[in-house]
Amino acid sequence: MHDRTIAELGRALEQGECSSVELTRATLERIEQAADLNAFITLTPDSALAEAEAADAARARGEAGPLTGIPIAHKDIFCTRGVRTSCGSRMLEGFVPPYDAFVVEQLRAAGAVTVGKTNMDEFAMGSSNETSFFGPVKNPWDRKAVPGGSSGGSAAAVASGLVPAATGTDTGGSIRQPAALTGISGLKPTYGRVSRYGIVAFASSLDQAGPMASSAEDLAIMLRGMAGFDRRDSTCVDRAVPDYRAALAQTDVRGLRVGLPKEFIEADGVDAEVSSAVTAATEALREAGAEVREISLPNAGMAVPVYYVIAPAEASSNLSRFDGVRYGYRCDSPADLEDLYKRSRGEGFGEEVKRRIMVGTYALSAGYYDAYYRKAQQVRRLVQQDFARAFESVDVIAGPTSPSTAFPLGSKADDPVQMYLSDIFTIAVNLAGLPALSIPAGFGDGRPVGLQLIGNHFEEGRLLGAAHGYQQLTDWHRQRPSVEG
Amino acid sequence: MPISANEVAQIAHLARLAVSAEDSETHARNLSEILDFVEQLGTVDTEGVDPLAHPLEMTQRLRTDEPSEPDERERFQAIAPATEDGYYLVPRVIE
């Protein structure tokens, strides 16, 4: 069952080929077999089997939806009532939330079965899943390589067929980049499309939750289950959630206007196999009737430096709540209040988190605010205006998701700026609040290559339709690594 | 912009982070590299450009000033390390 999509598993459950309890048991066994991937931080077998029993009962009553009885996993950044939520950090040692995140509530209500919480870069800060307090995740295609980050545990779990889908969050590319590096499909929705309530905050004007799965059709099913208005997140948009899956059938790549940014094509440091896979993918779309044209995003090159001012600034503020007083890690025998704060934070946070807090503190400090933070927000507007101009003449923008395939574990760990450039093609999307997805588009040296498609605000339906159309033409999304390694 | 170990100590103090002396040099080098990297923003002409703080430029939604959440103190305190008489107990840090 492990190589089936949500849509296929739903049909198997419907036809009585298996029950959700059987499917959940098989899922938990497979996760144990693949323990060396380190994809999970916490497993919840007892509650999963109880949820599966409830799903089977709902199905027997004729109340099943597309997610009823389907095993999924949540990135450990989503609060789960009664289940440890660590955000990949020692700082949240012993934290068991008394409530569910909106996304968890929604998917639970849709009948999905939560089997556990996936590993991630600490506080979602990283592009390789090497900054987790719980150790690095391995890429199932090559266990010596990273799975990408920060949703690397979710990506590895889906890629190796441990679960058909998982949740992720994307602040600068943290769904799309690991999706690309592990050969799965991952969608970052429009900012505000999915409530951020109950997600441990990193950079509030950029964070967005989204689905990771093995096909565009499954992303559509998951997004429909996750999205919706929630008054508890003041940045969440009150707008009806379309039936994204139904929209797939209505979207045709014929006549689709696809923009290729020359800045992405001409960018330095892009692997040859990535370039050729992306070229082949856009050629396949053209042959299927899409109209492909070159466009320009002149400020795209500034996206990474803008991000590395804004995201750390927001993080330094959001992470100030972890002070050793209220919950989470607390140092031993503090001498005074300042010592309590400093040592709790110094011992509880890992190096990348400390680095970003310090960059953010510096950028917001008196005398530097205008030069860094205000300047970054001005350039952010220019980046957004580039996209707005582009969408006057195209429906979607295509390009690589990541400049390289999965890189070796440890190879960029000591060079933060090089690591930051892993997200060079994804970050601008977060700055502009746009939806974007990554789908598999080939291989380079045995490792997956991702194709990124970017859409205009709230045009997830069109994006998923384009991705689904591409997946009807190719079978890259059907390729699976061996879990046995 | 080169950041010295002394400046690291000052930034770490503002951020209430304990940074050991041996880690200061590494932080100084990393912060200098990151700030050098973001310096390129200075080359962009932003004269007259309004800062963008929210990607959809939404205004903050307000609600009526009425209680909307029930009292869940007992449930929240059940996960706290130490409580007494409805209060959270924290280490004595003020003489």
Residue ranges covered by each domain of chain A: 6-251
Q: Is residue B27 part of a domain?
A: yes
* A404: annotated active-site residue: no
- pLDDT value of position B21: 86
Q: Which of B18, B55, B81 has its CB closest to that of A432? A: B55
DSSP helix/strand/coil, A294: strand
Q: Is residue B22 part of a domain?
A: yes
Minimal C-alpha gap between B57 and chain A (Å) = 10
What pLDDT digit, counting tens, does each position of A171-228 carry? 999 999 999 999 999 999 999 999 999 999 999 999 999 999 999 999 999 999 999 9
What pLDDT digit, counting tens, does each position of A137-179 carry? 999 999 999 999 999 999 999 999 999 999 999 999 999 999 9
Q: Please state, as a whole number, how many other Cβ atoms lie within 10 Å of the Cβ of residue A480.
A: 15
| B26: containing domain | 5-43
Q: Do B90 and A337 touch (CB under 8 A)?
A: no
Looking at residue A305, its amino acid is: P
Q: Do B34 and A417 touch (CB under 8 A)?
A: yes
Sign (positive/negative) of CA torsion A418, A422, A424, A430? negative
Looking at per-residue confidence, does B21 or A289 come out higher?
Answer: A289
Mean pLDDT over A407-431 rounds to 93
* ipTM rounded to 2 decimals: 0.93
Domains in chain B, number: 1
Model confidence at A466: pLDDT above 70:
yes
Q: What is the CATH number of the domain that holds B22?
A: 1.10.20
Minimal C-alpha gap between B61 and chain A (Å) = 6
Q: Is residue B30 part of a domain?
A: yes
- pLDDT value of position B94: 72
What pLDDT digit, counting tens, does each position of B10-67 carry? 999 999 999 988 889 999 999 999 999 999 999 999 999 999 988 988 887 888 899 8
Q: Is residue B64 part of a domain?
A: no
Q: Do B52 and A355 touch (CB under 8 A)?
A: no
Cis peptide before B68 (omega within 30 of 0): no
* A174: annotated active-site residue: yes
- pLDDT value of position B92: 82
Looking at residue A264, its amino acid is: F
pLDDT-derived band at A94 (thresholds 50, 70, 90) equals confident
Nearest chain A residue to B24 by CA: give it: A355
Contact, A206 vs A431, CB < 8 A?
Answer: yes
CB of A458 within 8 Å of a chain B CB? The answer is: no
Minimal C-alpha gap between B85 and chain A (Å) = 17
- pLDDT value of position B95: 67
Model confidence at A120: pLDDT above 90:
yes
Q: Is residue B50 part of a domain?
A: no
pLDDT above 90 coverage of chain A, percent:
92
Q: Do B51 and A380 touch (CB under 8 A)?
A: yes
Mean pLDDT over A273-291 rounds to 97
Report the CATH fold assignment for A6-251: Amidase signature (AS) enzymes (3.90.1300)
CB of A348 within 8 Å of a chain B CB? The answer is: no
Q: Do A357 and B15 touch (CB under 8 A)?
A: yes
Contact, A146 vs A152, CB < 8 A?
Answer: yes
What pLDDT digit, counting tens, does each position of A24-67 carry? 999 999 999 999 999 999 999 999 999 999 999 999 999 999 99
* A150: annotated active-site residue: yes
Model confidence at A269: pLDDT above 70:
yes
Closest CA to A254 of A466, A82, A77: A466
- pLDDT value of position A277: 97
Q: Which of B20, B44, B63 has its CB closest to that of A302? A: B44
CB of B18 within 8 Å of a chain A CB? The answer is: yes
Q: Is residue B84 part of a domain?
A: no
Cβ contacts of A362 within 8 Å, gap of 6 or more: A368, A372, B3, B11, B31, B35
CB of A229 within 8 Å of a chain B CB? The answer is: no
Model confidence at B89: pLDDT above 90:
no
Q: Is residue B12 part of a domain?
A: yes
